[in-house]
Amino acid sequence: MAQRRTSGTNLFMTAPPISRRKRKRGKKPKGHQTVALQLLSLTLPPLIFSCFTVLCVVAMCRAVPINELLERASQHSDKLHSLSTTLTQELDSHFPPIGRVIMPRPAMCHTSSLQTPIDKDQALQVSESDLMSLARSLLQAWSDPLVLLSSSASALPHPAQSTIFNKIQEMQQYSKSLKDGLDVLSSKMGSSAQAITSLPYRGGTSLGQDKITKLINFNFLLSCLRRDSHKIDSFLKVLRCRAAKMQPEMC
Amino acid sequence: MVTADVSLSRVLPGMSPPEKPDKLGCRSPDKETFFCWWTPGSDGGLPTVHHLYYKTEGQENMRQCPDYHKAGSNSCFFSKTSIWVEYTVIVEASNALGNTSSDPLTFDLMNIVKPFAPENVTVVVNIEDSPHLTIQWHTPSNIDTKSGWVTLKNQLRVKPDKSKIWKNYASETQTHFTIYSIDLGVVYMVEVRCAIDNSWSEWSNTTFVKVPNFSRKDNSFWILVFSLCLIPLLAAMIILILKRKTVKKYILPPVPSPKIRGVDVQLLKSGQSEDVINAMLLNQRFPVMIPWKDQKEDYLIVSDKETSYLPLEKKKIFILPLAMALDSEVQSKETSEVDHFPKDSESSSEESSDKTESSQLLTKCSSANVLNDEKANQLKGVTEKIFQPFGICGYVDIPRHEHMQEADYSRVNEVNGDNILIMKKENIPHTLDTQGQEGSVPDNYSMVKEVNSDNVVFLEKHSESVNASFKAKGYIDWVNQKPKNLHMTGHSEMGVCPQLVGCEYVDTVPPPAVI
């Protein structure tokens, strides 16, 4: 581009170049075919991509290994057990001594009718499906009593009532997520793993009328919950160790 | 230990049945076996034996402890246990006088699980790269973690010796740990514990470890590195300082400045006047000079006095400025600026004529309007140094020699046409030289009346009209009565109006060449 000189003595004053515009409107729109083609070309890649991702997700979902699922499940059950342990300890801090005397025995738990292994050797001989079934049955048996516990904890005559109530809520959440995880796991382990023994709670909708009764019944329920959560935790950890044969560090 | 048969001992007065055993406790370190202990009461002066009885949830009869020795005195070790069943344990102390049972203890195996503290805790201090502590330990023995029945969690805590706050770290299942946030020169205390199913053991025995202050080896290394790096730095600095001028030229290149052709700046600076003049004047071509319109008229009287008349071959131009206002000025100018010729002085004229050769003359007239009247009286007695004042002064540009080569004056006879001057043979009408100068005015000079164009010279025929024109003897007045603006460049004529008519100055300097 020739530059414009502003000096007066310069004889070669050139005017600025005229900008050239290339007409870009040479092409005419072609019609509906082109539009359709363009639409197709625009939407097809995302379609293909989404189909691909769905397939991949499905495939990958299947590919999640069981031991990882078991790892997550056992972490949930561990948390559940730890919550129940701390709850009983907190409740015991302000528990009337007479309550320990008249508290029902653990055999009175609504889940005691379920036959579970009673020592380590027996537990190690149970099949994985049975272990899973036991765990799921126990977990299922506590979904209603947890609701009762939660409603009772909101008005529990105890100094640590709010803490207890919060922990009960947490336990409900963990119980729910563990239940979902075990449903997925059992579906991978066969039909016998999916059998659930029904263990209905028959304690009614209230823990008692007076304060002592309430506290005693609350404590009793919590002790049953502690035992059952320990059972679930132990079974799942045994399962986890069995599934991770290639990784001994998981046990 | 089972005591001897009680019945054989003698009963003495003051003896009593044993107190009941107290503080029963049971513990399972591995979730498989457990042991119970008790604190015996006073034995009542008689040998007392203790028995432990237990019962599980579904049984009706009490069974005796299977092993009283493995766990030490006053303890019972259970190797075969059941979990998730309720145990009931009672200890009975019995002597010759009676039996006393302790309070029953009920428990579930899962409730009494409590592992022992980890063993063989080792702490290694490492300050090579960055100071850190590597802590290792062993799980308590006899714990079955391979089947998955038992899952251990680990925890450790560290604190400096003099601090009161422990810092906890969680290590899930691994039996080693590394801590990086430690300070040098501090003694640290390390403790480890483990847990089975959220039931924690006691803290292990404290391990003390001292972190050394610094590493001598590292220090010397860094000193060496530092000194090695310094040497090239110093060398670079020295080089920079020594060659600072070169560096300065490189970094800050000299700014190009405009140059005048033919002028050497260094020469000017070194400054001999001749060289300066040569540089400035000879080699330059001056721009067109605009005549001073507003200035007063000036006269240029070129005189060629007889006495000072020089031979033709000299071809010189004598130019005298008129209307010099003051004597002093004249005197000063005479020597410095102007080359002028006194009328009656040969020497001076010669002298000044010499000067004319050299350069162009720039005469300067001072305004002498005021002095016009004064000097008018002096017309008659004009000496060398007194010049006839004219009312009007101005610049007189003296033409170059080449242009004024017609130094040889000749008489003009006729004027034909534009530029034909027919030389006269006879005397020219006398010039009106009323100034009364000494010497005679040559008759063959004529006054120029008018300069019309470039080459036309109108000669004055009458002399009376030029009375007022004060002409010194020997001067030729170039008269221009036309009050036109003669910005003529490159002309060799000059017009001076003596009658105070608007006159113009005519530049006789040839036009400078445009550079």
* Three-class secondary structure assignment of B254-287: CCCCCCCCCCCHHHHHHCCHHHHHHHHHHCCCCC
Chain A residues within 8 A of B144 when measuring between CB atoms: 120
DSSP B434: T
Q: Say yes or no for a CB contact (<8 Å) between B31 and A231.
A: no
ipTM reported for the complex surpasses 0.95: no
Task: Band the pLDDT of B193: cuts 50, 70, 90.
Answer: very high
- pLDDT mean across residues, chain B: 69
**Is A153 within 8 Å of A72 (Cβ atoms)?**
no
d(CA A213, CA A225): 18
Q: Does B145 touch chain A (CB under 8 A)?
A: yes
pLDDT at A189 over 60: yes
d(CA B36, CA B101): 15
**Is B297 within 8 Å of B503 (Cβ atoms)?**
yes
Chain A residues within 8 A of B199 when measuring between CB atoms: 85
Please identify which residue in the block is written with the tokens 């006729």. B414
Give the tens place of pLDDT for each residue, A66-81: 888 888 999 999 999 9
Q: Is the dihedral of CA B409, B413, B418, B420 positive or negative?
A: negative
Q: To the nearest whole angstrom, how far is the Cα of A70 from the nearest Cα of chain B?
A: 12
pLDDT at B457 over 60: no
DSSP B438: S
Chain B residues within 8 A of A85 when measuring between CB atoms: 198-199
Task: Band the pLDDT of A160: cuts 50, 70, 90.
Answer: confident
Which of B32, B148, B174 faces A241 most closely, judged by CB atoms?
Answer: B148
Tokens of B13: 């007065």
Q: What is the pLDDT of residue B384?
A: 40
Residues found in chain B: 515
- pLDDT mean across residues, chain A: 81
Q: Say yes or no for a CB contact (<8 Å) between A116 and B84.
A: yes
pLDDT at B394 over 80: no
d(CA B46, CA B19): 11
**How many pairs of residues across A and B have Cβ atoms under 8 Å apart?**
63
Mutation pick from B83, B106, B174, B175 vs chain A, by most beta carbons of A within 10 Å, is B83
Chain B residue with minimal CA distance to A116? B84
Q: Say yes or no for a CB contact (<8 Å) between A251 and B84.
A: no
Which of B31, B149, B198 faces A82 most closely, judged by CB atoms?
Answer: B198
Q: Say yes or no for a CB contact (<8 Å) between A123 and B149.
A: yes
Q: To the nearest whole angstrom, how far is the Cα of B292 from the nearest Cα of chain A?
A: 27
Residues 6+ apart with CB under 8 A from B442: B306, B474
Q: To the nearest whole angstrom, how far is the Cα of B189 from the nearest Cα of chain A?
A: 28
Tokens of A96: 């009337």
* Mean pLDDT within B476-493: 42
**Is B50 within 8 Å of B21 (Cβ atoms)?**
yes
Among B63-72, B259-268, B356-365, the range with the most confident prediction by mean pLDDT is B63-72
Q: Say yes or no for a CB contact (<8 Å) between A105 and B151.
A: no
Q: Say yes or no for a CB contact (<8 Å) between A119 and B82.
A: yes
pLDDT at B337 over 50: no
Q: Does B397 touch chain A (CB under 8 A)?
A: no
Q: What is the pLDDT of residue B280?
A: 66
Q: What is the pLDDT of residue A194?
A: 85
Q: Say yes or no for a CB contact (<8 Å) between B148 and A240.
A: yes
Chain A residue with minimal CA distance to B32? A120
Q: What is the pLDDT of residue B419?
A: 52
Q: To the nearest whole angstrom, how far is the Cα of A173 from the nearest Cα of chain B?
A: 20
Q: Say yes or no for a CB contact (<8 Å) between B84 and A123.
A: no
**Is the model more confident about B91 or about B413?**
B91
Q: What is the pLDDT of residue B423?
A: 55
Chain A residues within 8 A of B145 when measuring between CB atoms: 251
pLDDT at A20 over 60: no
Q: To the nearest whole angstrom, how far is the Cα of B152 from the nearest Cα of chain A?
A: 9
Q: What is the pLDDT of residue B310?
A: 47
* Mean pLDDT within B373-397: 45
Q: To the nearest whole angstrom, how far is the Cα of A23 from the nearest Cα of chain B?
A: 47
* Mean pLDDT within B205-217: 81
Q: To the nearest whole angstrom, how far is the Cα of B264 from the nearest Cα of chain A?
A: 27
DSSP A14-83: -PPPPPP------PPP--HHHHHHHHHHHHHHHHHHHHHHHHHHHHHHHTS-HHHHHHHHHHHHHHHHHH
Task: Band the pLDDT of A206: cuts 50, 70, 90.
Answer: confident
Q: How far is CA B379 from each of CA A131, B120, B339, B369, B470, rounded to the nearest angstrom?
A: 151, 139, 21, 15, 8
Q: Say yes or no for a CB contact (<8 Å) between A227 and B147.
A: no
Mutation pick from B113, B151, B153, B176 vs chain A, by most beta carbons of A within 10 Å, is B151
Give the tens place of pLDDT for each residue, A37-67: 888 778 787 788 777 777 766 655 556 788 8
Q: Write down the number of H helices and E strands in chain B.
A: 7, 25
Q: Does B31 touch chain A (CB under 8 A)?
A: yes
Residues 6+ apart with CB under 8 A from B206: B189, B190, B191
Which of B57, B81, B110 faces A230 most closely, judged by CB atoms?
Answer: B110
Q: Say yes or no for a CB contact (<8 Å) between A120 and B82.
A: no
Q: To the nearest whole angstrom, how far is the Cα of B406 from the nearest Cα of chain A?
A: 39
* Mean pLDDT within B173-185: 88
DSSP A124-143: HHS-HHHHHHHHHHHHHHTH
Q: What is the pLDDT of residue A54?
A: 76
pLDDT at B499 over 70: no
Q: What is the pLDDT of residue B383?
A: 41
Q: What is the pLDDT of residue B460?
A: 56
Give the tens place of pLDDT for each residue, B256-315: 888 777 666 676 677 666 666 665 666 666 666 766 666 566 667 777 665 554 444 444
Please identify which residue in the block is written with the tokens 């008249």. A102
Q: What is the pLDDT of residue B468?
A: 41
Give the tens place of pLDDT for each residue, B103-155: 999 999 999 999 999 989 999 988 877 888 999 999 988 888 888 899 999 99
Please identify which residue in the block is written with the tokens 């009869």. B61
Q: How far is CA B194 from each of CA B117, B199, B202, B204, rounded to the nearest angstrom?
A: 6, 8, 8, 9
Q: What is the pLDDT of residue B494?
A: 43
Residue B494: name the closest of B427, B459, B448, B428 by CA.
Answer: B448
Q: What is the pLDDT of residue B278?
A: 67
Which of B80, B110, B147 faces A124 most closely, judged by CB atoms?
Answer: B147
d(CA B486, CA B181): 102
Q: What is the pLDDT of residue B479?
A: 42
DSSP B460: P
Q: How far is CA B152 from each of CA A121, A237, B83, B139, B148, rounded to the nearest angstrom?
A: 19, 11, 18, 8, 10
Please identify which residue in the block is written with the tokens 């310069």. A10
Chain B residues within 8 A of A116 when measuring between CB atoms: 84
Q: Say yes or no for a CB contact (<8 Å) between A242 and B110.
A: no
Give the tens place of pLDDT for each residue, B212-240: 887 656 677 888 889 999 999 999 999 98
Q: Say yes or no for a CB contact (<8 Å) between B149 and A237.
A: yes
Q: To the nearest whole angstrom, how far is the Cα of B104 from the nearest Cα of chain A?
A: 12
pLDDT at B515 over 80: no
Residue B468: name the closest of B299, B291, B296 by CA.
Answer: B299
Chain A residue with minimal CA distance to B198? A82
Share above pLDDT 90 across residues of chain B, in percent, rounded to a whole number? 22
Q: What is the pLDDT of residue A203?
A: 80
Chain A residue with minimal CA distance to B200? A82
**Is B76 within 8 Å of B65 (Cβ atoms)?**
yes
Share above pLDDT 90 across residues of chain A, in percent, rounded to a whole number? 34
Q: Does B30 touch chain A (CB under 8 A)?
A: no
**Is the model more confident about B362 or about A198?**
A198
Mutation pick from A220, A234, A236, A250 vs chain B, by most beta carbons of B within 10 Å, is A234
